[in-house]
């Protein structure tokens, strides 16, 4: 007797979890970033690293690593797709809601996963901007 267990996520979430975009494979030191941000949530144990390359004021490339659940991985993958090619100011405006909408929704108890991704991106952009300010000084 086998019971079918339903997948609690949309097909888009499933796709981004199983086929993550812009994931840094192997050693992240090989991804020469202009800025990077890392955030974590001690309550759920998820941690996200986002690295960006910037050219002409836009995110020309983005890479990431996430240690967490399917929602965290899918959310960071979606974030990377949303951010690539955007200006820094537009990328900073990516919200958790936008990530969640892009994925077709997340279970209510997993929404916090999308919050972490955009926080890591904001930290990466802040890190990039601080380096530019230091160079000008």
Domains of the chain: 11-131 (3.90.1010.10)
pTM for this model (two decimals): 0.87
Q: How confident is the model at residue 102 (pLDDT cuts 50, 70, 90)?
A: very high
Report the distance separating Cα 78 and Cα 104, nearest Å: 11
Given a cut of 70, is residue 7 above it in pLDDT? no
Q: Is 10 exposed, middle or buried (0-12, 13-18, 19+ CB in 10 A)?
A: middle
Say what percent of the chain tops pLDDT 90.
59
Quote the DSSP letter at residue 48: E
Q: Which helix (H) or strand (E) holds 51?
A: strand 47-55
Per-residue pLDDT, averaged over 21-49, amounts to: 86
Taking CA atoms, 86 is separated from 98, 131, 132, in Å, by 14, 20, 18
- Catalytic residues, by residue number, are 44, 113
The pLDDT score that the predictor gives to residue 101 is 93
Question: Which of 54, 107, 102, 112 has the alpha carbon at shortest distance from 79?
Answer: 102
pLDDT mean across residues, the chain: 88
């Amino acid at each position: 007797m086998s019971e079918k267990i339903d997948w609690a996520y949309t097909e888009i979430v499933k796709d981004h979890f199983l086929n993550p975009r812009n994931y840094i494979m192997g050693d992240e030191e090989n991804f020469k970033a202009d800025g990077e941000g890392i955030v974590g949530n001690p309550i759920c144990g998820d941690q996200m690293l986002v690295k960006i390359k910037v050219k002409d004021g836009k995110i020309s490339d983005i890479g990431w690593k996430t240690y967490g659940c399917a929602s965290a991985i899918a959310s960071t993958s979606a974030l990377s797709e949303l951010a690539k090619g955007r200006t820094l100011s537009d990328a900073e405006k990516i919200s958790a809601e936008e990530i969640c909408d892009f994925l077709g929704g997340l279970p209510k108890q997993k929404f916090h996963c999308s919050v972490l991704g955009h926080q890591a991106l904001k930290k990466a952009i802040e890190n990039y901007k601080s380096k530019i300010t230091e160079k000008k000084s």
